[in-house]
Amino acid sequence: MTDRPVIAIHQLDHYFGSGQLRKQVLFDINLEIAPGEIVIMTGPSGSGKTTLLTLMGGLRSAQSGSLKILGKELCQASQNDLVKVRRNNGYIFQAHNLHGSLTALENVQMGLEVHGTFSKPDRHRRAAQMLTQVGLEERIHYYPGDLSGGQKQRVAIARALVSRPKIVLADEPTAALDKKSGRDVVNLMHDLAKKQGCTILLVTHDNRILDIADRIIYMEDGRLATQPEAAAIAQ
């Protein structure tokens, strides 16, 4: 493994809208994240956290500055390149993004289908193994509607990690969970990520989970605070 950052952002600005309605929401973002690092991004509502996360995930186009994911420049990248980046990352959002008409096993298999490189039996085996790792071996054939919030989020974690992505982006993964389920879910993410050597960037308002981070960064009014300021805020 090299120490080259998996995420390298320099002088990134971002705007929404055009003409008179054009509004800058990110200002001069500079951030490097090393392989295997777990970084939590926190900050007030509307400060730009989700915008930055979606830019890193290739879910929207970066406009100005430099944003490199695994060495690939996403600023001004083609739609094709953005699609490739999306496939290579794992995503965990609030609990409700599972397909309700698919079982837990089928939902997790979808995390492999986009890659197109695994045979059907292989997808089945890997998805079942991953669900076992998140403690759901008894419930692989359950539909999301028959699972608790914490169990659904564990399915989402299994789906994000089953393809062993180098980067996992998580937006408020504990928002819909009670204290114990939220803690279980982040511990699980932490342990699996460390085992797989993957990098996690997690956006949260949940102060109870800050301790799983190797580093905490703080966003306010579209700007990232430096590390000492962020550490003071988190205490």
Ligand X SMILES: Nc1ncnc2c1ncn2[C@@H]1O[C@H](COP(=O)(O)OP(=O)(O)OP(=O)(O)O)[C@@H](O)[C@H]1O
Residues that bind ligand X (CB under 6 A): 16-17, 25, 43, 45-51
Nearer to ligand X, 16 or 229 (CB): 16
Residue whose entry in the numeric block shows the structure tokens 């989700």: 50
Q: Which residues of 113-128 are buried (b: 16+ CB within 10 A; e: fewer)?
A: eeeeebeeeebbebbb
Are 125 and 133 in contact by the 8 Å Cβ rule? The answer is: no
The minimum distance between CB 234 and ligand X, in angstroms, equals 16
- Phi/psi for 12 (5° steps) reads -85, 130
Going by C-beta distance under 8 Å and a sequence separation of 6 or more, which residues neighbour residue 148?
181
**Least Cβ distance, residue 45 to ligand X (angstroms):** 3
In the bound state with ligand X, the residue whose beta carbon lies nearer, of 47 and 151, is 47
Using the minimum distance from each CB to ligand X, give the nearer residue, 49 or 154.
Answer: 49
State the minimum distance, in angstroms, from the CB of residue 61 to ligand X. Answer: 12
Q: How far is the CB of 91 from ligand X (least distance, A)?
A: 15
In this structure, the number of other CB atoms found within 10 A of the CB of residue 216 comes to 20
The smaller minimum CB distance to ligand X, of residues 172 and 184, is found at 172
